[in-house]
Structure 1
């Protein structure tokens, strides 16, 4: 079904209360045409549970799950276009020169699209032979599996896990550590609060609605990002957001742009320079302390190290008080406004809801550390409606938690190789600098000499920083193998491409959602595998057979036997908890889902509530058992770029730098509204948001006027790292000096395979900076980059990102 831009946007805005955020409205009202002889089954995706209709063997329509009627994501309407996309990898393909010369091939040919179709037998034999060759010649430390990305949902067809299971049985591989999205957070937060927090349940929305006097959104876009979840999400947060707006709870949004969320709530907009969050938080803390507004008792009872932090805050250590006047020079937020905000936050019950974006910047560890410190000084952590939350913007954090048991899944097994690399830093740096030693969270890591990369379930040639550096790095390994349903950037840069099928073409089962645990959903195969595609499970089973350990890989179970055993294990666990679940056949052949009960006390859940009641019995996982404003553990590391307490450290690139003389605009790259990273970019959804056939770039009217840029113009975005074309949207919803380009657009070089090529379509990572947040976390700094923008005066070249290779 083809849906026009006009009808999509019109129906997406049908839900009046949420009309300012089209991407969450009731777009399913579009889908009213009758289907003759169609059958329907439930299944699940990152965008939630859906009901899929199949007619004459084809996926014909998808509609939201009946219990997801309030705010389902309209993105699901494009699933049919995605399944039957011209960008599907139809057959096993091998790069022509690699097929001829193997490891001695010309690796600079990667990315040029010169592939040859081969049979499955030949492709699988070639993969097995390459794994054996590299193992024999270089050892297992020369094999890397970097896949930890947004693969399809499901407990069996988890492609990164399936890949690791196979490589582990083959003798091991170099793995990565951490998470690309929240790399800095996952390292700093265990030092500060004893856990990662970003994947933990938030205080229930019911407690916020009942108790919160002020919501501070710090780089958090609740309306956009709650569409999705790592596991399927149930969109319950949207009803809470609607209730928050109707109640009239004041909202402050701290962000360089006026987000759809801020616009929906009618929020007060505070627009600091990007990457200056820590300085602004320090000034708020300075006001709380000097005006005696902070909770001294909470700080003394529940935290350690405040007195060692205080000399820095007050300036007795370095001669510079972190006052609002000091912060104004850094952030450009007026000092009086900073003081007023600090007083408002202290006056009543305040909930700070932060997004993950503020830790994706140079020294991103400091922003989260200081945010926890600020919340500690307010003294409301563990109180209903107060404190902080780092996942209200994702997967409906704050939803009510059901009394449930989680589904397990197939195991990745053991990895005999101990070497690992930080995920956000472990691609380009590792490939270009084998043998180099880097710091990471108190340990030294030596980069291995990788000769074979196997990727399944991700698109690193989209999300990794500094594309041109990565292209050079991607020419280093002898062999690159990819399982992929589509001709993504990563597939185009591979030597061997194996066509993987999609969610709708295989059987699986899943839990929904990762915070509430409310449902178990069967995911039956709805249509035949398209073209010659196979599931990742079947692909790795076939490779394992050629390597001599098929029985260990499958444990003697077929796909459906695995699915049933995963469910039956949950049934057994539920029985021990006094929960009754239906038999597998009743679930699979019946309604297709099971709903766990939500206890009444779930409405009263408060994050850190138990810790506040009894900090000894419920000690945190830090060395002290308390919130650590000063970390003696980090002090031992002696890192010059990560002191032992929250600190403002000037970023490598920002608007206060001398570098702005050449590149005067700071570019930020939030997640897209109508995609999941690069997923769904190969569908008609592009018609909804693209400008002149390119990824849209937000630019302030003053900045646009100074560059003779008009709304709808094709513009060139560039710095010393690279250049791309985008379509201009001139808007006062972004502060002067800042431009915004959403990440995830498919890379489309004007000179395929060449470092330095112009991206014709607008992939942000042509201009982003590839460096670690600090020696502590080595996280990505996607939001630390400055550029210049100019109107593209010659005819813009056609976009060819979605054109498969010849013969594919």
Structure 2
């Protein structure tokens, strides 16, 4: 037994020894080096799950209970290497429970220790203290003498109550070991009573839900025992909609309870982007924030403070909104408008309809005769709770569904009667050619256009602008001599003239027809033009304001209200388009309302100097042109202080000056709701206590607010998030009377409405136009917009036009980079969330999708490593040859975490290594689907 006990003490000393290599110790045990990930928990190594606090953790804890022990630290997983080593020493030196010792060593410890040591060797291939000791321990662990001694325990040849005494008498010469034996205490454990054990082992089902920026959200039922989540289940779909979890929801344990979790507050010690940090206390983190906010604000003014666009958490009380509230109460901040998802929709739709409240409820589409999903993949993006239910019913009624998309999406595969592949950025050309057929064949609704629209033809132009070009004149080529007919559009879109003509006839003859564009088509350099041209089709066919029709917009609708977080008026008052934040870092003082469309003033008073990035990967990963962003953020003379709060060491987190660990959805309470017409609210009950030293943003921002003397104003008088959740919920009940009381709502994990409003956008206006006008300057649908005309910018035409703009099919750059690249939303991720979940690779491997013909030209075969490149960056990843992407187009699923090698080549496949930072002309929105590349075999 001497070798076993000495071995365990040596392991224990090794784990606590940081003198020989403190930087390595910090990286392994505190997570301070982004490039090193060595899990400390047995559960992370079982079955390659890389998950903590599961059934393995519970099994370990049950062993502790059997010995009458319980871990003191409730915030750290019980099955870490420290506790298990100490537990075996306790069993051998204190309790002498050899049966439990043998069982635990064989069942839990041996393979765990070996895996842990081998993992160290992966990260320390050179001669070092950690490598040397790990090799020694592995040799001992599998050494025959060691195994022989241990087998003697198994055969009970040396078991007796005086074993420890005998051992002590025989080893008086080993004074150091004897001192360790005499002074040993199980410092990580405390005694636990049988009654407390019984309570700990009670199994509970806790109802929680999705919290990320997914359209459907989902119901999650967690089976919890003694702080371990052993299983997740979900609810089923019913006639009122879907709250059933998809693969992403079912993978929450493997994502959010990953061993890669950030554990402690960290302060940067290397260059930005290196991912080198040191552990600090929360008090020190607050000290740093207080000092930096005060000193930098005093130097540059309130406009230097910015809270970055982020959607990793979409609960009603969330970090980015809390940070804005804090900044507003301490003088103000530079804000943003628009979103990365739908800037062109959000900014442009009001120019046409006067409002963004322009979407009908999904049940109304059941009355359509033709559904056109244009750049729309709701089966993957989960577009609200009722959307998929309506699509299923539409298909069951044999109503034809047409999907227009460069990629044969999952939605096309399941629902489409016809898939029409289209080249990115040419959607406006297709819409205009359809309009051409409608006009030339006199299939448009002239009465509707005459009564409700401005600018369709010369007779409908606004007074004083009769000589300006009308929409009809442009389509028919009256002034520019170019008829926008199917033959013209075919050369741009890659769709045959016959298919265009056939689609035009179907749209014209379907009474009614619903055109539902998705976000993807307007995330191009001419996104506004595409959107406006498609909306013109709905007006031409008179499908606006009727059941079964649509306004062809991704707007919003007056469904059930959701709890409202109380924002504070921003004293600074200025805001920028969200996609231009990197510009505001290096040229903020040069930005103007005319050039950059900032709101609230003519110019900015400062560049961004303080940046809070909370629960988001937009700082690097999700923004266009990653390498440009890296260069901007690496210059510490530009943005002087960056705070990130996250669960993991993401590509964005590596650029933090202060990196703060956040809790997962399992570790806090919150209220959330699905997108758009959601027929339910969900409540996320806390399943387990926050891990390690993780804190929700409310907690540390509240402490920060105390230092500025505004804690009461900051939290509306509450001192915890749960009471604030109750308050905003009870305020909602004043208008949503169907909702139960808060305690019932919380207990049931939410509420699914029985009475759901059915809304047709603009129905009241269409049915009673004399008394209800569109909220535009003319009171009509503005195909010709005087407001857009006044921009006096050829890239912002007053009528819907095809604008080729940059990195499209007409860009000269296509000669050098002949393939168009798009980044599609995949069912394996929600934006960049879940990319660290290896199980999702089984669901959908991360690959470059390339048409078989394009691959053959480049001698690329299935599974080959390909280099995708342009003048912005290079990506290396495996190729997937398929007919599901049209020729001339390639696609990379968006959301993979940027991971460059020493040459700067991204080895994970982050699409934004290649995309552009250039914004769209009007909304100044995301144009990341306008991207030209070349692909070669490596």
Return the structure number with greater helix share.
2
String of CA shifts for 1:607-650, please: whole Å, max 9, x gaps.
22222111233322211121100001111111121110011111
Decide which of 465, 471, 477 is 1:315's aligned counterpart.
477
Is residue 665–residue 786 contact of structure 1 (8 Å, CA) maintained in 2? yes
Quote how far apart the aligned CAs of 1:524 are: 2.2
User: Given the superposition, is the C-alpha separation of residues 5 and 48 from structure 1 closer, same or farther in structure 2, using an over 3 Å criterion?
Assistant: farther
CA distance in 1, matches of 2:641, 2:590: 19
Is residue 466–residue 766 contact of structure 1 (8 Å, CA) maintained in 2? yes
Matches within 5 A, 1:426-465: 426-428=581-583, 430-432=585-587, 434-437=589-592, 439-441=595-597, 446-447=603-604, 448-460=606-618, 461-465=620-624
Matches within 5 A, 1:190-589: 190-197=350-357, 201-205=359-363, 207-209=364-366, 211-226=367-382, 233-234=384-385, 236-307=386-457, 308-349=470-511, 350-391=513-554, 404-409=560-565, 411-428=566-583, 430-432=585-587, 434-437=589-592, 439-441=595-597, 446-447=603-604, 448-460=606-618, 461-474=620-633, 475=635, 476-510=638-672, 512-559=673-720, 560-574=722-736, 579=737, 581-588=739-746
CA distance in 2, matches of 1:516, 1:433: 37
CA distance in 2, matches of 1:445, 1:592: 47
Matched, 1:51 2:51: no
Larger RCO (alpha carbons 8 Å, 6+ apart): 1
Quote how far apart the aligned CAs of 1:424 are: 1.0
Would you say how many aligned residue pairs link Structure 1 and Structure 2? 716
User: Given the superposition, is the C-alpha separation of residues 471 and 375 from structure 1 closer, same or farther in structure 2, using an over 3 Å criterion?
Assistant: same
Matches within 5 A, 1:59-70: 59-66=229-236
Quote how far apart the aligned CAs of 1:128 are: 0.9
| Residue in 2 that maps onto 1:785 | 931
Quote how far apart the aligned CAs of 1:192 are: 0.3
String of CA shifts for 1:706-759, please: whole Å, max 9, x gaps.
1111111221110011011122110011111100111110110113xxxx7111
TM-score (structure 1 length as normaliser): 0.84
* More off after superposition, 448-457 vs 653-662: 653-662
Name the SS of the counterpart of 2:371 in structure 1: strand
Q: Which runs of 5+ in 1 are unaligned?
A: 7-34, 98-108, 793-808
Matches within 5 A, 1:67-78: 72-78=245-251
| Residue in 2 that maps onto 1:95 | 268
Decide which of 39, 47, 55 is 2:204's aligned counterpart.
39
Name the SS of the counterpart of 1:424 in structure 2: helix
Which contiguous aligned blocks of 4+ residues in structure 1 show a shift greater than 6 angstroms?
Answer: 1-6
Is residue 403–residue 416 contact of structure 2 (8 Å, CA) maintained in 1? no
User: Given the superposition, is the C-alpha separation of residues 329 and 584 from structure 1 closer, same or farther in structure 2, using an over 3 Å criterion?
Assistant: closer
CA distance in 2, matches of 1:686, 1:785: 27
| Residue in 1 that maps onto 2:913 | 766
User: Given the superposition, is the C-alpha separation of residues 143 and 305 from structure 1 closer, same or farther in structure 2, using an over 3 Å criterion?
Assistant: same
CA distance in 1, matches of 2:740, 2:438: 55
User: Given the superposition, is the C-alpha separation of residues 762 and 429 from structure 1 closer, same or farther in structure 2, using an over 3 Å criterion?
Assistant: farther
CA distance in 1, matches of 2:350, 2:474: 23
Name the SS of the counterpart of 1:387 in structure 2: coil
Is residue 651–residue 784 contact of structure 1 (8 Å, CA) maintained in 2? no
| Residue in 2 that maps onto 1:593 | 750
CA distance in 1, matches of 2:551, 2:48: 38
CA distance in 1, matches of 2:679, 2:455: 40
Is residue 428–residue 469 contact of structure 1 (8 Å, CA) maintained in 2? no
String of CA shifts for 1:660-689, please: whole Å, max 9, x gaps.
221111001122221110011111333225
| Residue in 1 that maps onto 2:283 | 121
Name the SS of the counterpart of 1:654 in structure 2: coil
Is residue 354–residue 388 contact of structure 1 (8 Å, CA) maintained in 2? no
Quote how far apart the aligned CAs of 1:260 are: 1.3
TM-score (structure 2 length as normaliser): 0.73
| Residue in 1 that maps onto 2:161 | none
Quote how far apart the aligned CAs of 1:580 are: 5.1
Is residue 71–residue 238 contact of structure 1 (8 Å, CA) maintained in 2? no
User: Given the superposition, is the C-alpha separation of residues 348 and 526 from structure 1 closer, same or farther in structure 2, using an over 3 Å criterion?
Assistant: same
Quote how far apart the aligned CAs of 1:71 are: 5.2
String of CA shifts for 1:437-476, please: whole Å, max 9, x gaps.
3524597853532221111121111111001111111122
| Residue in 2 that maps onto 1:161 | 321
CA distance in 2, matches of 1:716, 1:405: 48
| Residue in 2 that maps onto 1:176 | 336
* More off after superposition, 123-132 vs 681-690: 681-690
CA distance in 2, matches of 1:140, 1:684: 43
CA distance in 1, matches of 2:683, 2:844: 35
Is residue 859–residue 937 contact of structure 2 (8 Å, CA) maintained in 1? yes
* Aligned-residue RMSD, C-alpha: 2.5
Matches within 5 A, 1:743-762: 743-751=894-902, 757-762=904-909
Matched, 1:669 2:787: no
User: Given the superposition, is the C-alpha separation of residues 541 and 584 from structure 1 closer, same or farther in structure 2, using an over 3 Å criterion?
Assistant: same
User: Given the superposition, is the C-alpha separation of residues 268 and 67 from structure 1 closer, same or farther in structure 2, using an over 3 Å criterion?
Assistant: closer
Name the SS of the counterpart of 1:220 in structure 2: coil
Name the SS of the counterpart of 2:765 in structure 1: helix
User: Given the superposition, is the C-alpha separation of residues 377 and 688 from structure 1 closer, same or farther in structure 2, using an over 3 Å criterion?
Assistant: same
Name the SS of the counterpart of 1:62 in structure 2: strand
Name the SS of the counterpart of 2:264 in structure 1: coil
| Residue in 2 that maps onto 1:150 | 311
CA distance in 2, matches of 1:433, 1:516: 37
Quote how far apart the aligned CAs of 1:89 are: 1.3
Is residue 191–residue 622 contact of structure 1 (8 Å, CA) maintained in 2? yes
Quote how far apart the aligned CAs of 1:185 are: 1.5
